[in-house]
């Protein structure tokens, strides 16, 4: 397909396992990195053809540290995707952002370990990542009603939740959101020259927040379910406002660089 990327994508996080009805077509691509998390369904939103991939699998088979991130992003790129919205569940590190808040972060801090986080194990390739999210997709998501624009999301290894001391430390650094899947997904998108923006739904106050009582997975999933329909509607409306042509240059990380292999 043309490199302006006519197809968009949504990568659904915890509790966000489907996006289209039964009329959508399903593809199951393979990649040099194995199979993606699950079948990719393709439907239409307004003028756009949109691919949907459940990050954790259709039945939440993958924990954050076992998600096949490289396969997921490669499969989407190979389908013709060049622009990605990435809804995710997050904890809040400040009482100003309570459960149900929707935030479009503008910064990311990586605290994961041992994850395969690059396609370039040879060739000396380095991508710019100072601003990890696509400014054009961020702007579209951030102007949706009720959305908070900006915030720093710290991505932890998981699958455990933070201790109170860790949570307070992150908050003291000025981080506002905590998550387990935002890295390496975002940097892999940049290596594949795909525009990428996270849309974060707050499901809980993290353990170090004074009014928080500690995080339980059952409560996170319950909060996500309570907000799922309006959250899907918000993502749908953001997709509908994406221009037909991709004009972003920010996410073209390899301008003037000779790569050791061709991108799909």
Is 110 annotated in a binding site? The answer is no
Is 56 annotated in a binding site? The answer is yes
Active site residue ranges: 204, 206
Is 219 annotated in a binding site? The answer is no
**Is the CB of residue 134 less than 8 Å from the CB of residue 243?**
no
Is 79 annotated in a binding site? The answer is no
Is 55 annotated in a binding site? The answer is yes
**Which residues are part of a known binding site?**
14, 55-56, 180-181, 204-206
**Which residues are part of a known binding site for phosphate?**
14, 55-56, 181
**Which residues are part of a known binding site for substrate?**
180, 204-206
């Amino acid at each position: 397909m043309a490199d302006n990327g006519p197809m968009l994508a949504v990568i659904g996080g915890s509790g966000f396992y489907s996006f289209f009805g039964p009329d959508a077509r399903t593809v199951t691509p393979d990649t040099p990195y194995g199979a993606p998390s699950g079948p990719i369904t393709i439907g239409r939103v307004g003028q756009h053809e949109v691919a949907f991939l459940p990050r954790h699998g259709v039945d939440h088979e993958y924990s954050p540290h076992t998600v096949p991130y490289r396969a997921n992003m490669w499969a989407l790129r190979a389908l013709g995707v060049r622009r990605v919205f990435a809804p995710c569940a997050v904890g809040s590190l400040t009482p100003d952002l309570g459960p149900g808040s929707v935030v479009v972060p503008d910064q990311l801090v990586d605290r994961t370990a041992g994850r395969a986080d690059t396609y370039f194990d040879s060739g000396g390739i380095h991508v710019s990542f100072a601003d990890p999210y696509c400014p054009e997709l961020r702007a579209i998501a951030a102007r949706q009603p009720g959305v908070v624009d900006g915030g720093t999301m710290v991505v932890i290894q998981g699958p455990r939740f933070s201790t109170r001391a860790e949570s307070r430390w992150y908050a003291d650094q000025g981080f506002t959101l905590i998550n387990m899947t935002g890295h390496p997904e975002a940097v892999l998108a940049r290596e594949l020259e795909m525009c990428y923006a996270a849309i974060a739904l707050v499901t809980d106050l993290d353990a170090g927040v004074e009014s928080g009582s500690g995080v339980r997975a059952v409560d996170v999933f319950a909060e996500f379910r309570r907000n799922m329909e309006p959250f899907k509607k918000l993502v749908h409306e953001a997709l509908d406002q994406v221009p037909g042509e991709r004009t972003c240059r920010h996410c073209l990380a390899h301008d003037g660089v000779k790569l050791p292999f061709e991108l799909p």
